[in-house]
Amino acid sequence: MVMGDLVREVDVAVVGGGPGGYSAAFRCAELGLETVVVDLDKRLGGACLFEGCIPSKALLHVAAVLSEAERAKEFGVDFGEPRISLDPLRKWKSERVIGKLARGLAGVAKGKNVEVIGGRATFEDARSVRITGDEPQKIRFKHVILATGSAPASLPGIDLKTERLMDSTAALDVPEIPGRLLVIGGGYIGLELGQVYAALGSAVTVVEMLDSLLAGADADLVQHLARRCQRMFKAIRLSTRVSALRDTGGGIEARFGEGEAETFDRVLVAVGRTPRTQGLGLEATRARVTERGFIQVDERGRTSDPHVWAVGDVTGEPMLAHRAMRQGKVVAEAIAGRPAAFDNVVVPAVVFTDPEVAWCGLTESQAAREGRAVKIARFQWAASGRAATLGRSDGLTKLVVDPDTGRVLGVGIVGPGAGELIAEGALAVETALLADDVALTIHTHPTLSETLMEAAETLLR
């Protein structure tokens, strides 16, 4: 150790200030553990707040306002052509939305006496990390929680240095509204950002390697979204690989498979995210990392090193903030000696496109793959009064139900507001409710939440 080194002794050091990290840190502090957070940017919020969930939802809200204004012409209301000014848009997003939430988190940390240290943490041994950066020091801990998150994956085999090639982080800054945008990847990030840019005025082409958008979600849910995307986007190319990208000076030329090439003003790569474990010096601990780079943890979030814990994206799929937050609380309680475990049955997934797609628990396609007998209760929103008043009948609510017990095993919803509606589905599956329980509970009329009740009623004994 270097002379004059500052050594800090704490109960718990959290590496990474994202949702998993700050949830763990706050809970640790509540349980009486002295806790510090080490964050590269010396701030709480992580990818979720600064380059993920929150900014994308802010932009999607803008997109929704634009498309609602457009649709209002159907009701005889014409706002005229929208004029979009990027500077005020970016300022609203970064100051009124992100800045406000970031200040809120910082305030909570202060209130709970959780110090945030700026810098990069590297293990010296299994009980201490060295912090390099603005606040160099060494931290000795009783426990460390790794919450280093994930970063946008890059396109394998393509090495292009131009700002026309964007990852999701860059795209969320909205550097411009490109005339022609290619989105590589038809997953939730690609579709959400594709819709944002399409609403802002870009001609968007989405290219997806697999044979459907939003692989993993049930086809009948995706169908409604796909129909809308076909109207919003210039083109959707399924089962297609981008074989080459070339900087032409005035744009990027993309070659699709062996076939034709097309030139775009910008390209957004949205092919997933990879865990951030590089450079942590995990070799100094007994923690293990899988081939895909995920840190292996048990149901309490502990690695094979008893002092090293991990939460969030760095521990595997699904890489979702709400999963990380629950994991963070579990780990904090486990460190405090409570019998906590991440035993959650469902981690609900939401795609915040228009229409939104959300599901939780067992999906119909998963049941089919596993050869598991299930009953499906479907309710098409065409029969929903509320959907009709919104002018949006392009929705579907379905329950996946155990035929023997009548238990709700999964819920899938597509339609405006599906992201909010899925909460009831998650509660039903997590608490092992019967479809009859959902059917016999009074739901407010007229709301979209009735669709859950209506679907369940189709199975009512």
Partner 1 sequence: MARSFVLPDLGEGLTEAEIRQVLVREGDVVREDAPLLEVETDKATVEIPSPMAGRIEKIHVQPGQTVKVGQVLVEFGDAGDGKSTGGKQAADTLDPTRKLAPEPTTVVAEGRARQVPTTAAPVARGGPAPAARSGPVPATPSTRRLARELGVDLTAVPGSGPGGRVTDDDVRAAAGGGATRGAPATAQPAPAGRVAARPSAPEPPAVAKPLARVGVEPPALPKFEQWGPIERQPLSHLRRTIAERMTLSATLVPHVTHFDRADITDLDALIRRNLEAAKGRGVTLTLTAFLLKAAALALLEHPTFNASLDPAAGELILKRYVHLGVAVAMERGLIVPVMRDVDKKPIIEIARELGALAPRVREGKATLDDLRGGTFTVTNIGALGGTGAIPIINYPEVAILGVARGREEAVVRGGQIVPRLLLPLSLTFDHRVADGADGARFATAIVQRLEQPDSLLLGL
- Residues with a catalytic annotation lie at 445
The per-residue b/e assignment along 117-151, b for 16 or more CB within 10 angstroms, e otherwise, is bbbbbebeebbbbbbebeeebbbebebbbbbbbbb
Question: CB 300 → partner 1: shortest distance, Å?
Answer: 8
Per-residue 3-state assignment (H helix, E strand, C coil) for 289-316: ECCCCCECCCCCCECCCCCEEECHHHHC
Neighbours of 386 (CB within 10 A): 19
The residues near 444 (Cβ < 8 Å, ≥ 6 apart) are: 450
Q: In angstroms, how far is the first alpha carbon of the chain from the final one?
A: 72
CB of 434 to partner 1, least distance (A): 5
- Smallest gap, in angstroms, from Cβ of residue 307 to partner 1? 12
Question: Cβ 77 to partner 1, closest distance in Å?
Answer: 46
Strand (E) or helix (H) holding 274: strand 273-275
Q: At 364, give phi and psi (nearest 5°).
A: -65, -40
Residue type at 337? G
Assigned token pair, 367: 């049941």
- Reported residue count of the chain is 461
Q: Kindly tell me which of 156 and 339 has the beta carbon lying closer to partner 1.
A: 339
Give least dist CB 87 to partner 1, A: 46
In the bound state with partner 1, the residue whose beta carbon lies nearer, of 199 and 422, is: 422
Q: What is the CA radius of gyration of the chain?
A: 24
Q: How far is the CB of 339 from partner 1 (least distance, A)?
A: 4
Of 156, 157, 154, 179, the residue nearest 165 (C-alpha): 154
Distance CA 250, CA 13 (A): 48
Q: Which residues bind partner 1 (CB under 8 A)?
A: 32, 286, 288, 296, 298, 300, 302, 304, 306, 337, 339-341, 343-345, 362, 372, 402, 405-407, 409, 430-432, 434, 437
Q: Which is nearer to partner 1, 270 or 409 (CB)?
A: 409
Helix (H) or strand (E) holding 190: helix 188-200
Residue 452 exposed, middle or buried by CB count within 10 Å (0-12, 13-18, 19+)? buried
**CB nearer partner 1, residue 230 or residue 405:** 405
Rounded to the nearest whole angstrom, what is the least distance from the CB of residue 435 to partner 1 in the complex? 9
The number of C-alpha atoms within 13 Å of 290 and in the hemisphere containing its C-beta is 11
User: What's the half-sphere exposure (Cβ side, CA atoms, 13 Å) at 68?
Assistant: 9
Give Cβ neighbours of residue 178 (< 8 Å, ≥ 6 apart): 197, 202, 264, 265, 266
3-class state of residue 71 by DSSP? helix
For the chain, the maximum distance between any two Cα atoms, rounded to a whole number of angstroms, is 76
